[in-house]
Amino acid sequence: MMQLAHALAWLLAFAWIWKAVTAAFGLRRIPDLRDPEFDRQPAGNPAVTVIVPARNEEQALPGALASLLAQDYENLRIIAVDDRSTDATGAIMDELVRHHPDRLRVLHIRKLPTGWLGKPHAMAMAARHAIAVDHPEYMLFTDADVFFEPQAVRRSLAQAVAIGADHFVTFPTPQIKSIGEGMLLGYLGVMGLWATRPWKASDPKAKRDSIGIGAFNMLRTAAYQQLGGFESLRMEILEDLTLARRVKDAGLRQRVAIAPGMVSLHWASGAMGVVNVMTKNLFAVFRFRIALVLVACLGLVIQCLAPFVFLFIPGTRVAAVLTLLAIAVLYRLSSRHSRIPALYAALFPVGAALFLYSLLRSAFTTLKAGGVMWRGTFYPLKELRKNKTPLR
């Protein structure tokens, strides 16, 4: 038994050290749009339409739309979509459009067609409208709780045009307002480097390394149409991740950038707020397959929690210390774009435990309910499992 523990401890140490080393070299290759060289106008002044779907977002929406209306790029239009809101979201949009009729348009959705999730439907409808009216060369899909500095769209678009990107993602910076939020989002940032290598997003051969973030998905309109738009993602809860995979599968050019603080959002309030957000969508990451969830949970226990157990076993202590040092390095590297202090590495095992709880809770609540309540509509599990993009 001790020999097995010793072997496992060193295997984990080598794996984490390898991840830290490859991330140290890889992450530095991702451009930082805050650098002076990226303060430029997009070549050719291409038109871009920003699409903002919203359902019951009366708290964050005014600030988010105001930040888009304040963008310093002139050839920009915004379409805000009121997706069946029951609060003041629609009224806020209508008031803003009266003051900004040349830059902002509002679409109201009163009824969701059968066979659609609300968000893909809202974005698909807005994209069709944008293509018919604005004829944009690019479309930026974002969320109603995302805030942009005035230069954000211009710098991102300029880089996308300069490097010929079909799909461009600028990483958003999480706004951390509590220790619990920093703990969980810091953990997700580090573990995300295991799920996908962002520096490989531009490599067409690295099919599993795709990046899609709902806060900032910019697509060339021709690429969007080639992929079939959001009409092809009608029942995708994780439409941003699935879109990114399809971009890579189609051989289109995917590119990413960081810009700390330039695009930001507040995920949720407190640790349990983040847990609740994850509960809604983690089971979907595993395509609603309980066997995959259980295998993932076992793997995470070994990968994230076992090193702390090995600290208390004399024969595995050195390997455990090296593992924890590698984890701390990854927190430091991740903080470059997330701005989450590397000190949160001390709470890594707590973050891991809460993530495991969220994953099991997501699977249990979905299976118990027989489906998912999403943006005010219940979707049976059988329907959600149909026509899903396969996992790699």
pTM, to two decimals: 0.94
* Domain match, 247 and 278 both: no
Q: pLDDT tens, 104-122?
A: 999 999 999 999 999 999 9
Residue 303 counted as domain residue? yes
Same domain, 239 and 328: no
Whether 226 is in a domain gets the answer yes
DSSP letter for 207, please.
T
pLDDT of residue 387: 56
Strands 173-174 and 146-148: unpaired
138: tokens are 């690019």
Q: Are residues 122 and 256 part of one domain?
A: yes
Q: What pLDDT shows up at residue 390?
A: 45
For residue 336, the one-letter residue type is R
Residue 192 inside a domain? The answer is no
Same domain assignment for residues 10 and 71: no
Taking the C-alpha atoms of residue 183 and residue 348, their distance in angstroms, rounded to an integer, is 7
First to last CA, the chain: 33
Considering the domain architecture, whether residues 131 and 219 belong to the same structural domain is answered as: yes
Cβ atoms of residues 248 and 254 within 8 Å: yes
What pLDDT is stored for residue 373 in this prediction? 84
Residue 205 within any structural domain of the chain: no
Question: What span, in angstroms and rounded, lies between the C-alpha atoms of 372 and 360?
Answer: 15
Do 218 and 277 lie in a common domain? no
- Report the distance separating Cα 365 and Cα 343, nearest Å: 33
**Is residue 344 in a domain?**
yes
Are 315 and 251 found together in one domain? no
150, two tokens = 């005035």
Query: Does any domain span residue 244?
Result: yes
- The pLDDT of residue 318: 95
b/e code 147-173 from CB counts within 10 Å (16+ = b): bbbebbbbbbbbbbbeeebbbbbbbbb
299 SS3 class? helix
- Of 222, 248, 265, the last residue of a domain is 265
Q: What is the reported pLDDT for 3?
A: 85
Note whether 237 and 103 are same-domain residues.
yes
The region that residue 252 occupies, defined by phi over 0 for left and psi between -120 and 50 for alpha, beta otherwise, is beta
Residue 71 belongs to a domain: yes
Cα Rg for the chain, rounded, in angstroms? 21
**Domain of residue 344, residue span:** 2-27+270-378
Domain boundary among 265, 284, 308: 265
Non-local CB neighbours of 311 within 8 Å, separated by 6+ positions: 317, 320, 321, 324
Nearest by Cα to 5 from 314, 295, 350: 314
Distance CA 363, CA 343 (A): 31
Statement to judge: residues 159 and 79 lie in one domain: yes
Evaluate whether residue 198 is within a structural domain.
no
Based on the structure, what is the number of domains in the chain? 2
Q: Are residues 163 and 127 in the same domain?
A: yes
Residue 243 contacts residue 227 (beta carbons within 8 Å): yes
Average pLDDT per run of 10 along the chain, which is 392 residues long?
Answer: 88 98 96 97 98 96 98 98 96 97 97 93 98 97 98 98 98 96 97 96 93 97 97 93 95 97 95 94 92 97 96 93 97 94 96 97 94 83 70 42
Please name the amino acid found at residue 12. L
Of the residues 222, 237, 265, the one at which a domain ends? 265
Up-side HSE of residue 119: CA atoms within 13 Å toward CB?
A: 19
Q: Are 282 and 359 in contact (CB under 8 A)?
A: yes
Residues 42 and 128 in one domain: yes
CATH of the domain at 63: 3.90.550.10
Q: Which residues pair with 105 in a beta bridge?
A: 79
Predicted confidence (pLDDT) per residue in 14-38, tens digit:
999 999 999 999 999 999 999 999 9
Residues 91 and 227 in one domain: yes
